[in-house]
Amino acid sequence: MMSEQAFAALGPVFASHGWVFFGPYRRGQGLSASAGPYIGDQIAAAEKAGGVSAAAATMVRLLETDHLDDQFAALAWLRKQSFVQPSRIAVAGNSFWRHRNGAGGRTRRILRGNRFRGGRSELGGGP
């Protein structure tokens, strides 16, 4: 399921229970298409140039830097909105890591660590 379809399906469910639903897109994808290159394209280019190990290294580097920083910027923006209770934010998502490698949950594990403070819960899933 594409992000746009998932957001359209999930948003009303969360809203019907009193939650604000905020689903940021990755750089190069959906409403963020002009924000930079898409991670999938970068991984594919790395694989073409240097094989699977280069693709994996590119994926890890991007998920632990640029894309994680984007998620925290989105979280910081969300916390500043007048309609949001900053201490009652839940983070949900699926695992790009699992989708690409079968390993599971790398970005969520980072979010669960010291950088995601003040939230109430974290949910996860995978494709």
The C-alpha R_g of the chain, in whole angstroms, comes to 15
Give Cα 40 to chain centroid, integer Å. 13
- pLDDT > 70? residue 90: yes
DSSP helix/strand/coil, 74: helix
Domain positions in the chain are 31-125
Phi and psi at residue 103, in whole multiples of 5°?
-90, -40
- pLDDT > 80? residue 110: no
Quickly list DSSP for 7-70.
Answer: HHHHHHHHHHTT-----PPPTTSGGGGGGS--HHHHHHHHHHHHHHHHHHHHHHHHHHTHHHHH
The model's pLDDT over 11-23, given as tens digits with 9 standing for 90+, comes to 899 889 888 888 8
Average pLDDT over every residue of 90-118: 53
Whole-prediction pTM: 0.69
Average pLDDT, the chain: 77
The model's pLDDT over 25-66, given as tens digits with 9 standing for 90+, comes to 888 888 888 999 999 999 999 999 999 999 989 988 998 889
According to the model, what pLDDT value does residue 117 have? Answer: 55
According to the model, what pLDDT value does residue 21 have? Answer: 87
Q: How many CA atoms lie within 13 A of 27 on its CB side?
A: 18
